[in-house]
Amino acid sequence: MKLRKVTVAAATTLVLALTAAGCGSDGGGTSSGASSSAGKKITVGIKFDQPGIGLKTPDGKYTGFDVDVATYVAKQLGHNPGDIVWKESKSADRETLLQRGDVDFIAASYSITPAREQKVDFAGPYLLAHQDVLIRADDNSITKPADLNSKKLCSVTGSTSAQNVKTKLAPNAQLQEYGGYSECLTGLENKVIDALTTDDSILAGYAAQEQFKGKFKLGGFKMSNENYGIGVPEGSELKAKINAALEKMVSDGSWDAAVKKNFGPANYQNEPAPKIGVIVS
């Protein structure tokens, strides 16, 4: 396991931001400077179809770990929950949304990668997940990554997960890319595909849904390390402020509470909160 650290300049910026965040604030509120943003709208990108991570429910509510993280961060930036405009951010659209200025930041199971860092900036990471597969509960033919060879493997367009399997683990897997994970799940249930691959945190959320309990199981393969970061436009001053908010979320116990709330029902064995600026490769 390798760790990639932020530069000295970035670390200095983070320290300054943390110092600023600590001045003029009470135990659970925002700094006096950030409070001036109250009432001003902020647009945040999330997933709409990932139970436990980012989900828009039929009654128009938004739930999931990323939603809770984004809401906490927005509060530290001076925005009340009612100030947040949630925008769907599919995997293939995230860089474009940030580059066009359609969103202020994105918290959407957004893994930090060198290729993406060439296009946008990342705060965090705020969660370390691992790539895994979801298969039907009665399927005993897939017990290791190599067993995915010749199997119909599904992931979403723009995701790094399927390509990771194709290039490193099972080059003969029959890759099928859909627009959303819910489409992959339907294919898996109907036996149109054999396995769905993405991060274990996302898969656990699907498997824990009431209508799917007992139908699927996680393979238990830790095929990669996925460092979830919050994407911001390149050069945005929000990066340091968001890092300060994430540090506070961990230190005041809100991070642990959000993990338990969103992943606890699925018995998801999460990693401890990662250190800001340290990427596990």
Choice between 24 and 101, residue whose per-residue pLDDT is larger: 101
pLDDT at 204: 84
Predicted TM-score of the model (pTM): 0.76
Q: Would you say residue 23 has pLDDT above 80?
A: no
| CA–CA distances in Å: residue 120 to residues 95, 115, 182, 217, 230 | 7, 9, 27, 35, 10
Band (pLDDT 50/70/90 cuts) for residue 267 is: low
Which are the contacts of 176, defined by CB distance < 8 A and separation ≥ 6?
152, 153, 154, 187, 193
Choice between 38 and 25, residue whose per-residue pLDDT is larger: 38
Band (pLDDT 50/70/90 cuts) for residue 189 is: very high
Q: Where are the beta strands (DSSP E) in the chain?
A: 3-5, 42-46, 49-50, 54-56, 62-63, 84-88, 105-106, 121-136, 152-156, 174-178, 195-199, 216-218, 225-232, 278-280
Cα separation, 225 vs 80, in Å, equals: 33
Q: Give 72-127 pLDDT, tens digit per residue.
A: 999 999 999 999 999 999 989 999 999 999 999 999 999 999 999 999 999 999 99
pLDDT at 38: 66
pLDDT at 167: 86
CATH 3.40.190.10 placement within the chain = 3-29+37-126+225-280, 129-218
Quote the CATH superfamily of domain 3-29+37-126+225-280: Periplasmic binding protein-like II (3.40.190.10)
Band (pLDDT 50/70/90 cuts) for residue 54 is: very high
Choice between 49 and 148, residue whose per-residue pLDDT is larger: 148
How many CA atoms lie within 13 Å of 159's alpha carbon, on the beta-carbon side? 29
How confident is the prediction for the chain on average, in pLDDT? 86
CA proximity to 242, closest of 26, 28, 95, 70? 70
pLDDT at 206: 84
Choice between 22 and 152, residue whose per-residue pLDDT is larger: 152
Mean pLDDT value of segment 203-228:
86
How many CA atoms lie within 13 Å of 264's alpha carbon, on the beta-carbon side? 8
pLDDT at 179: 85
Burial of 152: CB neighbours in 10 Å, binned 0-12, 13-18, 19+:
middle
Q: Would you say residue 281 has pLDDT above 60?
A: yes
Q: CATH number of the domain at 129-218, please?
A: 3.40.190.10
Mean pLDDT value of segment 185-213:
89
pLDDT at 49: 87
Burial of 171: CB neighbours in 10 Å, binned 0-12, 13-18, 19+:
exposed
Report yes or no: 17 and 240 within 8 Å, Cβ to Cβ. yes
CA angle 229, 231, 237 (to 5 degrees): 115
Q: What whole-number percentage of the chain has pLDDT above 90?
A: 62
